[in-house]
Structure 1
Amino acid sequence: MRSKTTSSLLLFAIFIVALNLRPAITSIGPLLDIIREDLMLSNTQVSLLTVIPVICMGVFAMLAPVLNRAIGLNYTMYAMLLILAGAIGIRFLFVSFSVLWMTSLAAGISIAVIGPLLSALIKQYFPSHVAMVVGIYSFGMGMGATLSTGLTAVFYEASDSSYAFALAVWAVLAIIGILAWRLSATHPMEVKQRQSTVHSGVNPWRNRTAWSFLVFFGLQTALFFAVLTWLVPIAVTNGMTLLQAGTLLSMMTVVQIVMNIGFPLVLQRLNSRTPALVFILVLGILSIALMWTAQPVLFSAGVLLLGIPLGGLFPICLLMPMDATESAEETNTWTAMMQTGGFIIGGILPLFIAMLYDYTANHHVTLFVFLLLFVAMLVLALRIGNSTAADKTVDATSH
């Protein structure tokens, strides 16, 4: 049992580490066209810089329980934050597509390991306040995404148009993350795991509900990164200046932050999360309809409305495996499985969007793909809600 002081330090560390889970990826978006023109790349090639880390976050998510068992939580966290800081910092020293590609790969691996471990940590140390702590966690990620999307262009202008500096400056956050983790790690901390997980609970790879979680997480991840990558180009195509489009993106991410911290608190008071999930998905469909009009006022309103589902979907995805499992060990396994497949899906779909735009040069096609993602998630949300209700009925009958 940790004291109130040590618990507060751990919450602070979770928040600071969460700040680091998006800037390596989201800082690319505001400079997408600049990087593409400077390095003479296609839209598909430049989008790989955001796609690669997302896919890595899926492929390497299962390393989290393996490294936790092999070297422990603290050493794993230090190692991943050091890799992240190094990968981002190297972008200042070398400017080429191959370097950006390799640093994206390294950043994706480190983020892949950190995510499931933080989820398991929350389940183990804050079992009575899971939704609230998930709110802090997702708030940190939302803040990291907001800072990187809003300030990267500012750093670019302040450094005499050096996108290398604007991308590399986010290594400072990773260094702060190491210091914050060190502050919390002065008190013993671990995520407990058994040597064998065969009899430790339901195997998620053989569970239909877990597979629904995986696909849902993949669709919301694809939507999140695709929007952050393509919103500014879409807005510029609709007649906005780069500054206006960047400001609109920043305003949308502010809405996301409010949802990151506020939505989990609302969910904590609800017996069923499905109605709230369906509601924000319907708002997402409405937001795309408003953006489709291309009218400046309606387009801007649609973008701001889009911030609600983008901010609310991630925390509810984090809660899904926590609700479905009984122990931190199971949560770690289910979350790793969900993120393994989910991030692969979330990386491939934005690449598909980039290829479509290279082929069509029409961002209405991009918006249509966004709409399809929302509809698919709505169908899945209803399925997950029905499955959860059925599981609870079975549990009640068995007892």
Structure 2
Amino acid sequence: MSSERTSSQPLPWLGLLAIVVIALNLRPILAATGPLLETIQASTGLSDQQAGLMTTLPIFVMGLCALLAGPLQRWLGGRWGISLGALVIAAACVGRWLWPSAGSLIATAVLSGLGIALVQALMPSVIKDQFGNRAGMLMGLYSTGIMGGAAFAAALTPSVAEHLGWSAAQALWALPAMAAALLWWWQCQPRQASVSAVVHAADPVSVWRSARAWLLMLFFGIGTGAYTLVLAWLAPYYMQLGWSATQSGLLLAGISVGEVCAGLLVSLFIGRFPDRRPLLLLVLALIALALLGLLLMPLSGVVPITALLSLGIGALFPLSLIITLDHARSPQHAGALLGFVQGGGYMLSSVMPLIAGLLRSGDAGLELAWAIMIAGCVVLALMAWRFRPQAGQG
């Protein structure tokens, strides 16, 4: 299997399509939960803490598997591993339909995290290997596809649930995941790896001793904490304020669509900003203002809050991946570095939905969670200033 390691040569348009289709399936099982949370809790007895775990556990598993990106590249390769990941996501969706209980929700959360993790651990090396100097643009499209999948799920799932029930609405997302697995397997034809590729694969790059890698990991983790917090708790927050499941789902979908647009803009114009710092500071300011709006005027300010969150989170996620990729010296180094950054980063960000669930079940409420994330944006701004061009590579 090592000869299939991210060394496929698909037709460019088909490979690009497959990357986007796979990306679209990496968030629906997470985004489909928030708008249905009250219904799910009433049906299964799921607590707020357990609801937080439904986002925390898959994100934590994503991080844990991302740390194993190097071994996964050697053991499974891009073709096998990414196809398997999509099928595991499909299995998790089906599991929520077959066993609609609180225990099953937690178990399938872990299973979905494993499937998502397989894809996210392997895809960066595929992109770096196949697209070379255009890898930054492709990483932007890939991360945009991830947010696009969240938008579809948040918008469609409440309507499906009204007709078929919440468990069937969750299972719906198994169909595109299975289609994505088949497309990836079909287009990713293996070829014999070169001798140099085998040599590099046998000597994986260690990044654990790099101070810059740790800084990138902390930046990605705190920043992704804003995304996971909004993904898990924004819809329940507005339902708590009197909105319906459909309205809160459409709000989350609208933010996700805006994130897609922001991600596309990053993909199109990132080449004009060799110094990423001005963009990073701008998007962090947008996120902080949006979170402040959630604290002070969540209902009257919902339109500017939506716009600011969309642009801020939508741009920060691909920018975090791109600045990490900027420090990669080769496809193998890209896999090791991105695996480390996403691994530790996702594990760090997974704590935020759980903290918010604990706060919601107590007296503090979600307002304190928004305030904590505002402080996180200030920390991120201080960190971002250190990412000057060509600084501390590797």
The normalised TM-score by structure 1 is 0.90
Q: Distance in 2 between matches of 1:310 and 1:190?
A: 38
**Matching of residue 15 in structure 1 with residue 16 in structure 2:** no
Structure 2 residue identity aligned to 1:264? S
Residue 291 of structure 1 corresponds to: 294
Match of 1:213 among 212, 216, 237: 216
Q: Distance in 2 between matches of 1:276 and 1:377?
A: 13
CA shift digits 1:117-154 (9 cap, x unpaired):
11111111111212221222112111111011111111
- Secondary structure at the aligned position of 1:128 is classed as helix
CA positional deviation for 1:197 = 2.9
Q: Distance in 2 between matches of 1:189 and 1:22?
A: 33
Residue 104 of structure 1 corresponds to: 109
Which residues of structure 2 form unaligned runs of 5+?
A: 1-6
Which residues of structure 1 form unaligned runs of 5+?
A: none
CA positional deviation for 1:204 = 1.7
C-alpha contact 1:73 1:189 (8 A) present in aligned 2: no
Structure 1 residue identity aligned to 2:103? S
Structure 2 residue identity aligned to 1:105? V
Q: Distance in 2 between matches of 1:341 and 1:375?
A: 20
Q: Distance in 2 between matches of 1:228 and 1:347?
A: 12
CA positional deviation for 1:322 = 1.4
C-alpha contact 2:153 2:253 (8 A) present in aligned 1: no
Residue 146 of structure 2 corresponds to: 141
Residue 197 of structure 1 corresponds to: 203
Change (3 A) 1:108 1:2: closer
CA positional deviation for 1:292 = 2.2
Q: Distance in 1 between matches of 2:55 and 2:19?
A: 24
Residue 324 of structure 1 corresponds to: 327
Structure 2 residue identity aligned to 1:136? L
Match of 2:316 among 310, 313, 316: 313
Structure 1 residue identity aligned to 2:260? I
Counting only pairs closer than 5 Å after superposition, residues 23-34 of structure 1 correspond to structure 2 as 23-34=28-39
Residue 248 of structure 2 corresponds to: 245
State the number of aligned residues: 385
C-alpha contact 1:67 1:76 (8 A) present in aligned 2: yes
C-alpha contact 1:119 1:318 (8 A) present in aligned 2: no
Change (3 A) 1:381 1:190: farther
**Matching of residue 363 in structure 1 with residue 375 in structure 2:** no
C-alpha contact 2:228 2:353 (8 A) present in aligned 1: yes
Residue 373 of structure 1 corresponds to: 376
CA positional deviation for 1:303 = 2.4
Counting only pairs closer than 5 Å after superposition, residues 10-89 of structure 1 correspond to structure 2 as 10-89=15-94
Structure 2 residue identity aligned to 1:10? G
- Secondary structure at the aligned position of 2:387 is classed as helix
C-alpha contact 2:35 2:248 (8 A) present in aligned 1: no
Residue 354 of structure 2 corresponds to: 351
Q: Distance in 1 between matches of 2:37 and 2:74?
A: 39
Structure 1 residue identity aligned to 2:360? Y
CA positional deviation for 1:341 = 0.7
C-alpha contact 1:214 1:337 (8 A) present in aligned 2: yes
CA positional deviation for 1:195 = 4.6
Residue 95 of structure 2 corresponds to: 90
- Secondary structure at the aligned position of 2:307 is classed as helix
- Secondary structure at the aligned position of 2:100 is classed as coil
Q: Distance in 2 between matches of 1:240 and 1:305?
A: 20
C-alpha contact 2:85 2:117 (8 A) present in aligned 1: no
- Secondary structure at the aligned position of 1:360 is classed as coil
Change (3 A) 1:157 1:212: same
C-alpha contact 1:287 1:303 (8 A) present in aligned 2: yes
C-alpha contact 1:12 1:180 (8 A) present in aligned 2: no
C-alpha contact 2:150 2:253 (8 A) present in aligned 1: no
C-alpha contact 1:39 1:96 (8 A) present in aligned 2: yes
C-alpha contact 1:357 1:365 (8 A) present in aligned 2: no
C-alpha contact 2:45 2:102 (8 A) present in aligned 1: no
The normalised TM-score by structure 2 is 0.91
CA shift digits 1:245-281 (9 cap, x unpaired):
2222222111111011111222121120111110111
- Secondary structure at the aligned position of 1:319 is classed as helix
Residue 126 of structure 2 corresponds to: 121
Residue 4 of structure 2 corresponds to: none
Root-mean-square deviation (CA, aligned residues, Å) is 2.2
* Amino-acid identity (%): 28
Change (3 A) 1:67 1:366: closer
